[in-house]
């Protein structure tokens, strides 16, 4: 069963980095599907070139967990973000049943700087997401 948690951003907002802290990110393969944000990103991309790379990559730009955290730390102001995490199956790679039993996929979406929509099949993770709204 997919859980969907909506978190309204207050005046201080909920940074992406705070959401990432509750995820065991090494269990997922990450894709940045959309990003519109302001910040100073070091390394291969500036924030503008990252936005362009994501726009030009059908299905999303694959990123490592470490790089996703680097992006999160570099964002000063986020407007729209869509990130997909595909659960890495260790025992049952092509088994849909295995995927659901071990947590499943997740999606993190920020809409117009106003709210996050966090989707997961993992009940424990959904509870952790809900606790972020306290």
The domain spans of the chain are 15-128
**pTM (2 decimals)?**
0.86
Residue 18 has pLDDT above 80, yes or no: yes
pLDDT of residue 126: 93
Distance CA(30)–CA(22), nearest Å, equals 15
Distance CA(15)–CA(126), nearest Å, equals 17
pLDDT band, very low/low/confident/very high, at 8 (cuts 50, 70, 90): confident
Residue 65 sits at the vertex; the CA angle it makes with 63 and 67, to the nearest 5 degrees, is 60
CB atoms within 10 A of CB 40: 9
pLDDT of residue 90: 44
pLDDT of residue 11: 52
Query: 110 or 9: whose pLDDT is higher?
Result: 110
Model confidence over 34-67: pLDDT tens digits? 999 999 998 889 999 999 999 999 999 999 999 9
Model confidence over 68-121: pLDDT tens digits? 999 999 999 999 999 999 988 743 455 554 444 445 689 999 999 889 999 998
pLDDT of residue 13: 79
pLDDT of residue 87: 87
Tell me the two tokens of residue 36: 């519109």
């Amino acid at each position: 069963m997919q859980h969907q948690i909506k978190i309204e951003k207050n005046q201080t907002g909920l940074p992406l980095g705070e959401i990432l802290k509750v995820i065991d990110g090494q269990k997922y393969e990450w894709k940045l599907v959309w990003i519109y944000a302001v910040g100073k990103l070091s390394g291969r991309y500036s924030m503008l070139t990252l936005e362009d790379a994501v726009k030009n990559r059908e299905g999303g730009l694959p990123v490592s967990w470490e790089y996703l955290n680097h992006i999160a730390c570099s964002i000063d102001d986020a407007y729209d973000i869509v990130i997909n995490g595909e659960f890495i199956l260790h025992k049952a790679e092509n088994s849909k049943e295995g995927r659901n039993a071990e947590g499943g996929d997740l999606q993190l979406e920020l809409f117009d700087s106003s709210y996050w929509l966090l989707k997961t099949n993992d009940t424990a993770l959904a509870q952790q997401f809900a606790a972020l709204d306290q």
